[in-house]
Amino acid sequence: MSKVIVVGGGAAGLVAAWRAASLGHAVLLLEANGRLGVKLRISGGGKCNITHDGPPKTLLAAFAKDQARFLRPSLHAFDNSAVLELLRREGVETYTRDNGRVFPLDRPGSAGLVVAAFEELARRAGVELRTGARVTALRGRAPRLDGLLLDQERLTAEAYILATGGASYPETGTRGEVLGWLRALGVPAQPWFPTLAPIPLQRPQPAWEGVSLRGGELRLSAGPGRRRLAAFAGDVVFTKSGISGPAALELSQGTERARRESVAWLTYASLLDPPESLDLALQAEQRTNPRLLAATWLQRYLPERLVEPLLREAGLDRTMMLKNLPKAGRRALVDLATDLPLGEPQTVPLARGEVAAGGVDLGAVDPHTMALRGWENLRVCGELLDIDGPVGGYNLQAAFSTGFAAGSL
C-alpha cells in the first residue's frame, strides 16, 4: 500500500481516487472548490449527460483518430456499462434518449446525484477528501515529483495523479494553470483552445435572441462565396451576441482555427431544396400565385422574426408581391432561404466552451496507465489530457475511463 495524492475532485479525479483506494492505497483527494464535482453538477444543463450508449467501438468513433487510439485501452477497461452499473448500485437509475445520450432519471438536481454517488464510493473506499485545497505549485523534476504546495503547506506522497480538468468555465475551479506547470517541467502539451462554445458574431442580432434555425446545417467557409471548410448538420439558436445550439458548439473550434488563420464566414444552409430547384419553384409560384407576399413565401423557410429585417436588408419592401419581384430580388430570396449569411465570427471564448481542447500531449502518456512517460510517480487524466469529444456524454466518459486507468496503481 502506498500513499497517493489525487489533485482535482471532478469526474476523473473522483473515479481515480475511488479506484486507487479500492485497490488498497491510502488516497488523499485535493479539490480547490468548497465542494466536489462542481463542473459535473452543471453538466448537461444540470441533468448530466453521463455517457453515450453503444459499444466502445461506437463511442471511440466520435473522437478524432489519435484520441480514439489513445482512449481505446482505458475505455475497454472501464466502459459506459461499467460506469452505469456502478451508479446503479449507488441508487442512480439512468435512461437513454433516442439520440443515445444517457442521463440519470429526470429528478431535480439529478447531476448532483451523480456527484453524490461518486463521493460516497470514494468515502467508503477510504479516500480522505479535502476540499477548499488549491494546489499552488508542483515540486520535483523528471523522473520524480517530490511534492505539492498548498500555499505554504507541502504535501508528499509516493504517487501523484493530476485530474485538474481543462481551462473553460474557470468559475468552476478549472483555471488551467497546472498545464503551465507541467510544461515548465518539460511535459509536452498543446495550449488550451476553445471548443464546444457559442460563437459570437461581428454583427450579432440581439433582436433575434432565442430564435432557432432548424433542419439545416451550419457552414464554415473562408469568406463569402469562398471554399467550404466545414459543416455541421443541426440546430442553431441566436443569442444576444451571436449563435449557440448544437451545430454552433460543434463548429466552434474549427471556426476559431479558421478565424485565426484568415477570414472565417458562417452561413446556415437549408438542406431541403437546392437553390436551383427552389428558384424554379419560386418562378412557378410567381406565375400561379402572383399576389402572394414575398414575406409570406420566405416564412416557409425562415422563422417569422427574421423575415422582415432580412427583406429590408435585401432592399425589398415587406408588402411586395411575388408578381412585382425583380430578378435580383428573386435571387436574394432564394439565397436567404437556402444559405442564410450569419457573417464573420468574433473570437470564440475559451471560458465558455463545454470543454477546452489542448492539454497534455497524448504521446507523452501511457494509454493503459495514464503514467507520464519519463516520470516514475506521476499520472494525468481527464480533460487535462489533449482530448475533446463532441457533445453527447463522450467527454465525461473519457474522464471516467482515464480516471479509472490512472487510479489502477
- The contact set with ligand FAD (CB under 6 A) reads 7-13, 30-33, 38-40, 42-44, 48-49, 134-135, 163-165, 168-169, 173-174, 178, 354-355, 382-383, 393-396, 399
User: What DSSP element (H or E) covers 146?
Assistant: strand 144-150
**CA atoms of 76 and 72, how far apart (whole Å):** 6
Question: Do β-strands 101-104 and 94-96 pair in parallel, antiparallel, or remain unpaired?
Answer: antiparallel
- Give the integer Cα–Cα distance in Å for 289 and 287: 6
Q: Are 49 and 392 in contact (CB under 8 A)?
A: yes
Residue nearest to ligand FAD (CB): 10
Q: Minimum CB separation from ligand FAD for residue 97, in Å?
A: 12
CB of 243 to ligand FAD, least distance (A): 17
State the burial class of residue 328 (Cβ atoms within 10 Å of its Cβ: 0-12, 13-18, 19+). Answer: exposed
DSSP characters for 279-325? HHHHHHHHHH-TTSBHHHHHHTTS-HHHHHHHHHHTT--TT-BGGG-
Q: Cβ of residue 67: shortest distance to ligand FAD, in angstroms?
A: 13
User: Residue 12 or residue 334: which is nearer to ligand FAD going by CB?
Assistant: 12
For ligand FAD, which is the closer residue by CB, 331 or 352?
Answer: 352
User: Distance between CA 381 and CA 366 in Å, rounded?
Assistant: 11
Nearer to ligand FAD, 174 or 377 (CB): 174
Q: What minimum distance in Å lies between the beta carbon of 202 and ligand FAD?
A: 25
Cβ proximity to ligand FAD: between 13 and 407 the closer is 13
- In whole angstroms, the minimum distance from the beta carbon of 168 to ligand FAD comes to 6
Q: Which is nearer to ligand FAD, 195 or 270 (by Cβ)?
A: 195
SS3 content of the chain, % helix, strand, coil (to 5): 40, 25, 35
Query: What cell numbers appear for 148 in the block?
Result: 505539492
**DSSP, residue by residue, 29-83:** EE-SSSSS-HHHHHGGGGT---EE-S-HHHHHHTS-HHHHHHHHHHHHHS-HHHH
Which CB sits closer to ligand FAD, 33 or 221?
33
Provide, rounded to whole angstroms, the least separation between the CB of residue 183 and ligand FAD. Answer: 15
For 327, the enclosing helix (H) or strand (E) is helix 327-338
Question: Which strand (E) or helix (H) includes residue 115?
Answer: helix 110-125
CB of 284 to ligand FAD, least distance (A): 46
Closest distance of CB 232 from ligand FAD, Å: 18
CB of 94 to ligand FAD, least distance (A): 13
Burial of 80 from C-beta contacts in 10 A (0-12 / 13-18 / 19+) = buried
**Closer residue to ligand FAD (CB): 35 or 330:** 35
Output 114 or 266, the one with its CB closest to ligand FAD. 114
Q: Which three cell numbers stand for residue 379?
A: 499520472
Q: How far is the CB of 352 from ligand FAD (least distance, A)?
A: 8
- Write the CB contacts of 335 (distance below 8 Å, at least 6 apart in sequence): 275
**Identity of the residue numbered 379:** R
**Which CB atom, from 42 or from 320, has the smaller least distance to ligand FAD?**
42
The grid cell for 173 is 475551479
CA atoms within 13 A on the CB side of 270: 20
Task: Choose between 66 and 317: whose C-beta lies nearer to ligand FAD.
Answer: 66
Residue 315 is classified by DSSP as T
Closest CA to 19 of 381, 328, 391: 381
